[in-house]
Amino acid sequence: MLDDFFIRALIAGIGVAIVTGPLGCFVVWRRLSYFGDTLAHSALLGITLAYSMEFNIAFSVFIISSLIALTLIQLQKRTNLPGDALLGLLAHSSLAIGLVVIGFLSFIRFDIMGLLFGDILAVTVDDLLIIWIGGALILLILKLIWKPLFASTVNYELAEAEGLNPDRAKAIFTILMAAIIAISIKMVGLLLITGMLIIPAAMARNISSSPQKMVMYSIIGGLLSVILGLFSSLEFNTASGPSIITASLFLFILSLLNIKQSIKLKN
Amino acid sequence: MSSSQNILVKLNEAGFSLNNKWLVKGVSLQVEKGKIVTLIGPNGSGKSTTAKIALGIYKKISGSVEKYTNKVGYVPQKISIDWTLPLRVNDFMVLTESISNDLIDKALSLTGVIHLKDKNLGDLSGGEFQRVLLARAISKKPELLVLDEPVQGVDFTGEIALYELIKKISDELNCGILLISHDLHTVMSATDHVVCLNGHVCCSGSPIDVAKNNKYKALFGEQASQILSRYEHRHDHIHTSEGEIKKN
């Protein structure tokens, strides 16, 4: 069964969606979408390093993204430049360096489109293992830090005052962000991975009344996007990443209709 | 009378500066079990900053803080819940500690907002939200309660009731309370110790001592001083049901 590339892609996509669901909620709550973008852009550098040194891609991307996250924290301490400028600086310079390095590696044939937008054909059985084991670890750790992370998302000072150590939770969450980008980069591609984090969570916000429900709907939205997106990608011969994101946008628009209806009901 | 075992938090010459400007400097105070310590002072005098030093939110401080409890309940002065967070009162009650449904209901009933339990936090009025904040802080039975203007935006009768509740909680749970308030009149009646701040400790002591202090008068004016002396007068005798006046 795993011989079929499409089944492999489906299993990979489902694994990714289960993890991006809850992480995406925190990205929306904590306003981290541009931060996610920055980590994803830096992934290209990780990929090129993986190719040139014959590393595992997910591992290499994880290391580079974590380094970029640490660099950001250091930069924030040392300059007064606003956060978005620093993020832009890191995002584009790491993307540029990645592309420059690709130029030097002329002996390797790169599928740039595949890197940028995801390629379902590229998902191997090894990738499945990385996605599902890595994903399970991410979810486990997220569950362990849920209380301090969520409390500090609502109010940092409250969490700190009542002894929850929000700084540690934030640092761990940053590492988890690097990890999800590392394991899903092949599926969705580095330009669209943030979409996979944000759009299902944004869709879920429109229809949820509690944080737990938002996480659940975000996962369901992600799963539906993956399934719809992959089938249409097969049908229309389009890249997997854009197809998945387009499907999630479709779900988001549906959730807006739901909001309008509930406002009408209120009046 | 203060045995060291009863101390919950103690500030020694504590201060905090931001961008080379002292927000507050040289504050020494301690909160003991069952006692209410009130911080008063004009806007920008460092009341909230002092509370945050005591709570350990500010870490790079001068002087020192000794904290002897981890069971803390905090009502911050300002809190805003982002729309992106779908949060009901019920979810908010268990934000920092999982507590039983019974305790949640009890705390919400005490502050008079049990009917709002399933409402979204964003839909509450300022006063309602303030009552929820107080309920959350007391529901976990803390040893130390830090209340930064806990009744702001609460209606007049509610304000008096909530101050009575705060006093009752301090007695029942035997917890120490660090209270910040602008309302001299109501606060003084329940306070054991007053610290008057103006960037530094301007004066401190029992409410009566502080009211007599000239520095306090200079800061708040003669009228404020009279509020306190009225309070003092009010409590040095009891009016019995027969209409007699009985000395305490």
CATH value at residue A28: 1.10.3470.10
Across the range B156-181, mean pLDDT stands at 87
pLDDT tens across A68-119, in order? 988 988 888 888 888 889 999 999 999 999 888 888 887 777 777 888 887 8
Give residue A262's pLDDT: 57
Give the 3-state DSSP-derived string for chain B, with helices as H, strands as E and coil as C: CCCHHHEEEEEEEEEEEECCEEEEEEEEEEEECCCEEEEECCCCCCHHHHHHHHHCCCCCCEEEEEECCCCEEEECCCCCCCCCCCCEHHHHHCCCCCCCHHHHHHHHHHCCCHHHCCCEHHHCCHHHHHHHHHHHHHHCCCCEEEEECCCCCCCHHHHHHHHHHHHHHHHHCCCEEEEECCCHHHHHCCCCEEEEECCCEEEEECHHHHHHCHHHHHHHCHHHHHHHHHHHHHCCEEECCCCCEEEC
- Residues of chain B contacting A161 with CB distance shorter than 8 Å: 52, 55-57, 72, 74, 76, 146
Q: How many CB contacts within 8 angstroms connect chain A with chain B?
A: 65
Within 29-58 of A, beta carbons closer than 8 Å to B belong to: 29
ipTM over 0.90: no
- Residues of chain A contacting B88 with CB distance shorter than 8 Å: 209-210
Confidence of residue A259 (pLDDT cuts 50, 70, 90): low
Interchain contact, B86 vs A162, CB within 8 Å: no
Give residue B80's pLDDT: 86
Instruction: Let me know if residue A186 belongs to a domain.
Output: yes
Instruction: Let me know if residue A64 belongs to a domain.
Output: yes
Confidence of residue B208 (pLDDT cuts 50, 70, 90): confident
- Residues of chain B contacting A152 with CB distance shorter than 8 Å: none
Measured CA to CA in angstroms, residue A122 lies from A1, A51, A118, A201 at distances of: 16, 15, 8, 27
Instruction: Give me the domain span that covers residue A158.
Output: 5-191
Instruction: Let me know if residue A264 belongs to a domain.
Output: no
Instruction: Let me know if residue A204 belongs to a domain.
Output: no
Interface test with B, best of A155, A156, A213 (most B CBs within 10 A): A155
Instruction: Let me know if residue A258 belongs to a domain.
Output: no
pLDDT surpasses 90 at B203: no
Q: Which residue in the set A159, A164, A211 is minimally distant from B91, CB to CB?
A: A211
Give residue A87's pLDDT: 92
Its pTM stands at 0.87
Interface test with A, best of B60, B65, B85 (most A CBs within 10 A): B85
Within 5-34 of A, beta carbons closer than 8 Å to B belong to: 28-29
State which residue of chain B sits closest to A150, comparing Cα positions.
Answer: B95
Give residue B167's pLDDT: 86
Give residue B1's pLDDT: 45
Domain count of chain A? 1
Instruction: Let me know if residue A243 belongs to a domain.
Output: no
Instruction: Let me know if residue A77 belongs to a domain.
Output: yes
Instruction: Let me know if residue A164 belongs to a domain.
Output: yes
Q: Picking from A134-138, A155-159, B157-161, B227-231, which range would have the lowest pLDDT averaged per residue? A: B227-231
State which residue of chain B sits closest to A215, comparing Cα positions.
Answer: B86
- Residues of chain B contacting A151 with CB distance shorter than 8 Å: 95-96
Q: Which residue in the set B74, B84, B91 is minimally distant from A162, CB to CB?
A: B74
**What is the set of domains in chain B, with CATH numbers?**
4-71+145-150+178-247 (3.40.50.300)
pLDDT surpasses 70 at B248: no
